[in-house]
Structure 1
Amino acid sequence: MRLKEGTPMFKIEGLSFQFDHEEIIQDLNFTMKSGTLACVIAPNGTGKTTLFRLIANRLKKNVGQIVIDGYDSHERVVFNSRLFFMEDAQRLTESFSALENLEVIKELWESTVDINEVVQLLQMESFQHKKVKKMSLGMRQKVLIAAAIVSDAQLLIFDEPLNALDLKNITLINALFLSLKKQGKMILLSSHNIYDLLEVTDNLYFLYQGKMRAVPNQLETIKAHYFELFN
């Protein structure tokens, strides 16, 4: 069902998830607007990937509502077409080349994005025909990011997108994130390395005790709050 006009582009209300009698996500609320990047920070095992799986309809929430562009997550086909989330680069099809993986994504999301332009944008020409199983982790990571762009989804979700990338490629990906924001995309990601993302992050959150806590986007404040909560 299409919700009323004027709702946020991406909204979570009262989301909870329990596993083995443990509350992983507790009454979580979150909103995000078009053209922004939000970064979630928390130690391993605190629920970041679980949250992303819930948003992507891969886990069944106990209670709550998730909406993208006015469409509720219960309307799975249209909702799922509006987001892209691949947990990590190991989820790529190993026996396919970079181009073949991107062609699959383009078909599944019914996208009109030019794959060759994305390959050039991410400087993947030298390994576009290489099979994923023969790629380095850094190459795989770039294919994963390319897949998100090729999907042309409105909400792009990444779990540690800068993993295994060197400084040159981190700079390239940050410039890409800025470009995607200008196109109106929403980018939700997690990272342990906030130092490399501060310049492109609009909103920063700690995932603490199953809820999102907004944190000022200033390095010293981030460090102080982190050690206060997670020490």
Structure 2
Amino acid sequence: MIKIEQLHKKFGKNQVLKGVDLEFLDKGIFAIIGPNGSGKTTLIKALLGMVVPDKGDLSVGGTSIRKDWRYRDQIDYLPQIANFPANLTVKELISMIKDLRNRPGEDKRLIALFKIEPFLSKKLSNLSGGTKQKVNLVLTLMFDSPIIILDEPTTGLDPIALIHLKELIKEEKAKGKIILITSHIMSFVEEMADEIVFLLEGKVYFKGNIEALKTQTDESNFEHAIANLLTQEDV
């Protein structure tokens, strides 16, 4: 369970989050979407403890994250841009992450699924962007945590890898997990998300399923419904 209450965050004069209230109580896939500068990244970083809110509270599993940093063990996180140590090999990086988290990781299946075997002994600096993203996914999904956060997970993936990613996400949902996804690919969001959260200028403008959004905006097309929300910016 994730509960976010009246979250505010300001960077200099820029008020990025303006009283965000959200709850993710049950298993499911929740897409957090919005234009650039809407507050998505700040919200995710606050949940991860990487940004300290000015006001408000975040709780995971019923406990405020201000009181217990160990909540992070419940989260697997895929960053949008992974800055891997260039001098390490893929094999060394996977081993290092296992050691840091002090947990067993089911990496062998994922390595085979994303066909990373030929790259295990290669240095990360020599990998293509798409291969780095596959390594990023292995590092994220090889653990078994109740919460998964995926920031732009489709970046650089070929069609076959994208199919595998979708299957993996559905498998994790079936285990009863909360999965938060940020993405600019609306077709991916429409296919995968049980609910969407639409952020605009640091506020939640909509939370619910896609059919409810279409009904609210009187649009039959998901992308048009999102565009409709954008036109209500000053409402």
TM-score class normalised by the smaller sequence:
0.7 to 0.9
Q: Are the counterparts in 2 of residues 215 and 222 from structure 1 also a CA contact under 8 Å?
A: no
Q: Does 1:121 align with 2:113?
A: yes
Q: Which residue of 2 aligns with 1:83?
A: 75
The one-letter code matched in structure 1 to 2:28 is T
User: Can you give the 5+ residue segments of structure 1 that lack an aligned partner in the other structure?
Assistant: 1-8
User: Can you give the 5+ residue segments of structure 2 that lack an aligned partner in the other structure?
Assistant: 215-219
Q: Which moved further from structure 2: 78-87 or 132-141?
A: 78-87
Q: Which moved further from structure 2: 61-70 or 123-132?
A: 123-132
After superposition, the C-alpha distances for 1:43-81 in whole angstroms (9 at most, x for unaligned) are 222221111111110111011111112232113431122
Partner SS for 1:177 = helix
Q: Are the counterparts in 1 of residues 147 and 178 from structure 2 also a CA contact under 8 Å?
A: yes
Q: Does 1:200 align with 2:192?
A: yes
Q: Which residue of 2 aligns with 1:209?
A: 201
Q: Which residue of 1 aligns with 2:217?
A: none
Larger Rg: 2
Q: Which moved further from structure 2: 161-170 or 103-112?
A: 103-112
> Aligned partners of 2:228, 2:3: CA distance in 1, in Å?
28
Q: Which residue of 2 aligns with 1:67?
A: 59
Taking structure 1 as reference, are residues 187 and 119 closer, same or farther at Cα in structure 2, changes over 3 Å only? Answer: same
Taking structure 1 as reference, are residues 75 and 47 closer, same or farther at Cα in structure 2, changes over 3 Å only? Answer: same
Q: Does 1:148 align with 2:140?
A: yes
Q: Which residue of 1 aligns with 2:228?
A: 228
Partner SS for 1:198 = helix
Q: Which residue of 2 aligns with 1:52?
A: 44
Compute the TM-score of the two structures, normalised by the length of structure 2.
0.86
After superposition, the C-alpha distances for 1:167-210 in whole angstroms (9 at most, x for unaligned) are 22111100010011112222111111020232321111211131
Sequence identity (%): 24
CA offset at residue 225 of structure 1? 3.1
Q: Which residue of 2 aligns with 1:177?
A: 169
Partner SS for 1:53 = helix
Compute the TM-score of the two structures, normalised by the length of structure 1.
0.87
Root-mean-square deviation (Å) = 2.0
> Aligned partners of 1:131, 1:20: CA distance in 2, in Å?
39
Q: Are the counterparts in 1 of residues 148 and 179 from structure 2 also a CA contact under 8 Å?
A: yes
Q: Which of 164, 186, 203 is the matching residue for 2:156?
A: 164
> Aligned partners of 1:18, 1:124: CA distance in 2, in Å?
41
Partner SS for 2:42 = helix
Q: Are the counterparts in 2 of residues 35 and 180 from structure 1 also a CA contact under 8 Å?
A: no
Taking structure 1 as reference, are residues 114 and 156 closer, same or farther at Cα in structure 2, changes over 3 Å only? Answer: same
Taking structure 1 as reference, are residues 174 and 80 closer, same or farther at Cα in structure 2, changes over 3 Å only? Answer: same
The one-letter code matched in structure 1 to 2:121 is H
CA offset at residue 40 of structure 1? 1.3
The one-letter code matched in structure 2 to 1:181 is K
The size of the alignment, in residue pairs, is 223
The one-letter code matched in structure 2 to 1:229 is L
